[in-house]
């Protein structure tokens, strides 16, 4: 029985310098004529579907699964175009070394609010596309707090024998979703929340970067 370690993407594994938000704004403008669609909408730690719902509400419209397909396709085209310049995507310190260190010690998967297609584009742009066999995405739970239970269900479907679940993320929302799924959580200070905000959320472990915290993270996983 191995622990299951679930990695967030944006701010945890990589940065795209706002490409996701820019691509979403361009898609909303092209399809709905809504300028600066995500302005004032909480994005960090949310899911793409929840962001769309909140954007639509801002413009007095409703949003549901039937509204998503065309928007997601337009977003994916814009995101792919934006991430063609290699310098737009930055892999954060310690990512590859930590994944190597966890190999054979844990099941490793993605937990993200991105749509699956967008997550795959970002990971590929960062050269991380082959490091994760599976994941859970916005399609698996509109609200982030449902992602850990969704990951447990996928693990069962894949016939994995899983022990403790550990979420690694960069936002208070990651801490909250881990707690909602009875998982432990590592908060890394490379993303969208301040160290003080993360500390106030009381993660099991808080590290400056995955590089700096590698020994502590491996020890936490081994203890699970």
Q: What is the pLDDT of residues 34-54, one digit of tens each?
A: 999 999 998 988 999 999 999
171: confidence class by pLDDT, cuts 50, 70, 90: very high
The distance between the two most distant Cα atoms of the chain, rounded to a whole number of Å, is: 52
SS3 223: helix
Statement: residue 22 has pLDDT above 80: yes
Model confidence at 60, in pLDDT bands (50, 70, 90)? very high
The pLDDT tens digits of the residues spanning 1-20 come to 899 999 999 999 999 999 99
pLDDT above 80 for 224: no
DSSP code per residue over 23-76:
HHHHHHHHHH--TTTTTT---TT--HHHHHHHHHHHTT----HHHHHHHHHHHH
Going from N- to C-terminal start, the domains of the chain cover 2-15+89-223, 19-82
Nearest to 88 by CA among 7, 22, 170: 22
Q: Do 38 and 57 meet the contact criterion of CB atoms below 8 Å apart?
A: no
CATH number for the region 2-15+89-223 comes to 3.40.50.1000
Q: Of all residues in the chain, what percent are helix, strand and coil, respectively (each to 5)?
A: 45, 15, 35
DSSP 10: B
């Amino acid at each position: 029985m191995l622990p299951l370690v679930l990695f967030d993407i944006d701010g945890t594994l990589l940065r795209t310098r706002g490409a996701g938000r820019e691509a979403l704004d361009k898609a909303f403008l092209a399809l709905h004529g809504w300028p600066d669609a995500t302005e004032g909408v909480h994005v960090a730690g949310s899911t793409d579907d929840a962001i769309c719902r909140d954007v639509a509400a801002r413009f007095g419209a409703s949003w549901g699964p039937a509204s998503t397909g065309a928007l997601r396709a337009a977003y994916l085209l814009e995101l792919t175009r934006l991430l063609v310049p290699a310098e737009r995507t930055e892999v954060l310190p310690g990512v590859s070394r930590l994944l190597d260190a966890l190999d054979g010690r844990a099941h490793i998967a993605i937990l993200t609010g991105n749509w699956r297609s967008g997550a795959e584009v970002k990971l590929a742009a960062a050269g991380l596309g082959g490091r994760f066999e599976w994941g859970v995405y916005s399609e698996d739970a509109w609200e982030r707090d449902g992602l850990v239970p969704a990951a447990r269900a996928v693990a069962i479907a894949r016939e994995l024998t899983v022990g403790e679940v550990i979420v690694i993320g960069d936002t208070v929302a990651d801490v909250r979703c881990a707690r909602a799924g009875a998982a432990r959580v590592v908060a890394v200070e490379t993303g969208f929340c301040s160290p003080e905000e993360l500390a106030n959320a009381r993660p099991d472990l808080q590290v400056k970067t995955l590089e700096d915290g590698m020994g502590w993270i491996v020890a936490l996983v081994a203890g699970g």
